[in-house]
């Protein structure tokens, strides 16, 4: 959390207007960047803390390249790890590589594979800009930040605040237990519906991960033209 965030949330500060104005300016700048994306886009989430020999890095680079070769833009958090891998794959495939970074005290720096980039101050503005252009979400191994981004998308779809888009989790060994817990605890307890969980695809097949997003986009485009 930035000092500005702390000040904004401080109930004893009587006038948050200047902070709100800066947040509005950041929304405008973020939306202006997103508007420069001239093709369908997939947003890829994952840890900043994996190196280039990690299976998630290797897989994200492959997925980024495959989307790029299909004519898609790749949007990430713009930092190292999985984000770097996906942006690097976008470069490998001759595609558009977009990074939506954020100011942090450590570990978050811009990777060298970005065509369009912006550095945010506020997580909530950044997350809106992640989902605004996305026609699909692909998620690799990650920690609290990745989980936050994933569940933000699932909540927006569940509540009808955004249209349903494919959500693909790559790596059954990593994600399978989490989905089992959701089905056993949340579905069985009536806290989420089975149909809401069934929107999530867990796969180890990188071609299937990409194909799922491409097919959903093609289907929605055909329906819009009908």
CATH code for the domain of 156: 3.40.50.450
Q: CA 100 to CA 109: how far, in whole Å?
A: 11
Structure tokens at 195: 């149909």
The pLDDT score that the predictor gives to residue 226 is 58
Q: In the prediction, which pLDDT does 17 show?
A: 78
Report the half-sphere exposure of 147 (CA within 13 A, side-chain side).
6
Nearest-angstrom CA–CA distance, 143 and 48: 9
Instruction: Name the domain count of the chain.
Output: 1
Domain that holds residue 110: 3-225
Kind of pairing, strands 167-170 and 134-139? parallel
b/e per residue 125-159 (b: at least 16 CB within 10 A): bbbbbbbbbbbbbbbbbbeebbeebbebbbebbbe
pLDDT recorded at residue 43 = 98
Residues of the chain with pLDDT under 70: 1-15, 105-108, 223, 225-226
Give the HSE-up count for residue 54: Cα atoms under 13 Å, Cβ half-sphere: 20
Beta strand ranges found along the chain (DSSP E): 41-45, 73-76, 96-102, 116-120, 134-139, 167-170, 200-203
Residues 41 and 98: their CA atoms lie apart, in Å, by 9
CA distance 60 to 44: 8
- Residue 20 has a pLDDT of 84
pLDDT of the residue at 84: 98
26-50 pLDDT, tens digit per residue, is 999 999 999 999 999 999 999 999 9
pLDDT for the residue 175: 98
pLDDT of the residue at 18: 78
* pTM of the predicted protein model: 0.90
């Amino acid at each position: 959390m930035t000092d500005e965030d702390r000040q904004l949330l401080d109930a004893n500060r009587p006038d948050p207007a200047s902070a709100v104005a800066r947040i509005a300016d950041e929304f405008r700048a973020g939306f202006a960047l997103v508007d420069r994306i001239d093709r369908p886009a997939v947003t890829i989430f994952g840890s900043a803390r994996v190196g280039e020999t990690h299976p998630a890095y290797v897989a994200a680079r492959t997925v980024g390249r495959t989307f790029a070769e299909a004519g898609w833009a790749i949007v990430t958090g713009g930092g190292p790890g999985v984000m770097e891998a996906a942006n690097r794959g976008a470069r490998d495939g001759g595609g558009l590589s977009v990074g939506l970074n954020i100011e942090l005290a450590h570990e978050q720096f811009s990777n060298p594979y970005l065509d369009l980039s912006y550095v945010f101050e506020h997580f909530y503005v950044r997350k809106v800009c992640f989902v605004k252009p996305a026609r699909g979400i692909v998620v690799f191994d990650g920690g609290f930040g990745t989980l936050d981004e994933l569940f933000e998308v699932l909540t927006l779809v569940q509540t009808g605040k955004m249209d349903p888009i494919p959500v693909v989790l790559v790596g059954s060994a990593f994600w399978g237990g989490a989905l089992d817990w959701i089905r056993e605890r949340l579905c069985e307890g009536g806290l989420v519906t089975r149909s809401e969980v069934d929107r999530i695809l867990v796969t180890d097949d990188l071609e299937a991960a990409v194909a799922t997003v491409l097919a959903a986009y093609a289907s929605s485009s055909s329906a819009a033209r009908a």
